[in-house]
């Protein structure tokens, strides 16, 4: 079992171990057990996904978009700032404490955008703006 970060080449690791042992090596099988907060137990078989999609029930297997963004801090925008962000304009907000990216939510709690903090201008610039129905599916 190898626990690693993104960008790790497991097949190359097997090859390198084989070279160090002087015997050569390769992987017979590779299974990803988790990625971020999702584990193999969270997965569903492809046949089940196809069945749900073909019967118009695909939404049952979708996770909210912001689940994938939970590693970023978050703050709420007022309505005026929501409109500015939707038009690609920068907005004011709190200084970041964890990094330059943050989730931005509207007053109603809906995910609006992923913002990047510009330290020189002390503003938040929209990096990715989500359509209302896409972000909260």
Task: Give the largest Cα separation in the chain, rounded.
Answer: 65
Supply φ then ψ for residue 15, to 5 degrees: -60, -45
User: Which strands sit side by side in the sheet containing 101-105, from one edge to the other?
Assistant: 73-76, 101-105, 111-118, 123-129
The residues near 37 (Cβ < 8 Å, ≥ 6 apart) are 67, 70
- The alpha carbon dihedral of 88, 89, 92, 97 has a sign of positive
Q: What is the pTM of this model?
A: 0.68
Q: How many helices (H) and strands (E) does the chain have?
A: 4, 6
Question: pLDDT in tens for each of the 137 residues of the chain?
Answer: 888 888 889 999 999 999 999 998 999 999 999 988 889 999 999 999 999 999 999 999 988 888 889 999 999 999 999 999 999 999 999 999 999 999 999 999 999 999 999 999 999 999 999 987 655 55
| 115 alpha carbon, distance to own chain's centre | 14
Domains and CATH numbers, the chain: 10-61 (no CATH), 65-135 (2.30.130.10)
């Amino acid at each position: 079992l190898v626990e690693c970060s993104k960008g790790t080449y497991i097949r190359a690791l097997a090859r390198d171990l084989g070279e160090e042992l002087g015997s050569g090596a390769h992987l017979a099988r590779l299974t990803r057990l988790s990625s971020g907060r999702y584990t193999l137990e969270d997965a569903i078989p492809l046949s089940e996904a196809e069945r749900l999609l073909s019967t118009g029930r695909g939404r049952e297997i979708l996770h909210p978009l912001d689940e994938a963004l939970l590693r970023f801090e978050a703050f709420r925008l007022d309505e005026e700032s929501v409109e500015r962000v939707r038009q690609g304009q920068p907005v004011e907000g709190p200084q970041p404490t964890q990094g330059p990216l943050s989730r931005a939510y509207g007053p109603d709690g809906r995910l609006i955008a992923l913002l990047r903090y510009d330290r020189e201008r002390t503003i938040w610039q929209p990096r990715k703006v989500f359509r209302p129905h896409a972000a909260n599916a």
